[in-house]
Amino acid sequence: MTVVPFSQLLRERSRSGHGESEHSGFMADLMKGEGTREDYVALVAQHWFLYEALEQAAQSFAGDPVAEPFLSPQLTRLPALESDLEFLIGPEWRATIAPMPTTQRYVARIREVEAQRWAGGFVAHHYTRYLGDLSGGQAIGRLMSRYFGFETNGVLFYLFEQIANPRDFKELYRAELDAAPWGEEEKERVIDEVLRAYRFNTELFEDLARAKQAA
């Protein structure tokens, strides 16, 4: 019987959730050049709340035997997001942004996983965000640069200057997923949490679309 590596199983089982998130109306419009600069700024603002929670959790899980192999300062996005927001909005950006309803639920879930000390759940959210940033996120960054005339300021979030080869980095990350000491039940829990993260992403894009329509 052929044993399917966990990283491959995770990719296959989460493919539909990833597709739903990627092809939501809000993101599809941005990717096609039909979104506005304000749409992009709204997305960056929501990212800040998510990565603040995720990178706080990463500090909390430092030294955890399951989570530690996935932690890398090369992935840290919060300073880049803050630089982008200062460029896009201005020095008072913190006073002008607020989390959307889905962002609040998403952040609450990351903090819940952290409070439970559930390393597998943390890795599920870490995987969903950062490997997405190193994959489709790279195309998003290039398109936003083209559409809105950004060079580096405004899209620093997508520039992983400390990662010379994203493909190699992702392969190493997936090897760590395969090496993680998870039983079958825990693997299912991690997959379910990744699917939950993708649903949050899709629902966040729906929030952004509704806010745009209401503006």
- Kindly report the CATH number assigned to the domain that includes residue 73: 1.20.910.10
Domain residues for 116? Answer: 6-214
How many domains is the chain partitioned into structurally?
A: 1
In a domain, 163, yes or no: yes
Give dist(CA 160, CA 197) in Å, integer: 22
* In a domain? residue 46: yes
- Position 34, amino acid: E
Establish if 127 belongs to a structural domain: yes
174 pLDDT more than 70: yes
| Confidence (pLDDT) at 53 | 98
Task: Judge contact between 53 and 111, C-beta under 8 A.
Answer: yes
Using the predicted structure, report yes or no on whether residue 2 has a pLDDT greater than 80: no
CA-CA distance, 178 to 156, in Å (whole number)? 30
Is 112 inside any structural domain? Answer: yes
Helix, strand counts (H, E) of the chain: 10, 0
Mean pLDDT for 95-113 is 98
In terms of Cα–Cα distance, which of 178, 175, 197 is closest to 187? 178
Inside any domain, residue 25: yes
pLDDT score, position 30? 94
Tell me the average pLDDT across 156-178. Answer: 96
At residue 140, the pLDDT reads 94
How does pLDDT run across 64-86, given as a tens digit for each residue? 999 999 999 999 999 999 999 99
Q: 20 pLDDT band (50/70/90 cuts)? A: low
Q: Is residue 1 part of a domain?
A: no
Does a structural domain hold residue 197?
Answer: yes
Average pLDDT over residues 87-91: 98
Q: pLDDT band at residue 22, thresholds of 50, 70 and 90? A: low
Q: What are the start-end ranges of the H helices in 33-68?
A: 37-60
- 75 found inside a domain: yes
Residue 50 has pLDDT above 80, yes or no: yes
Across the chain, what does the average pLDDT equal?
94
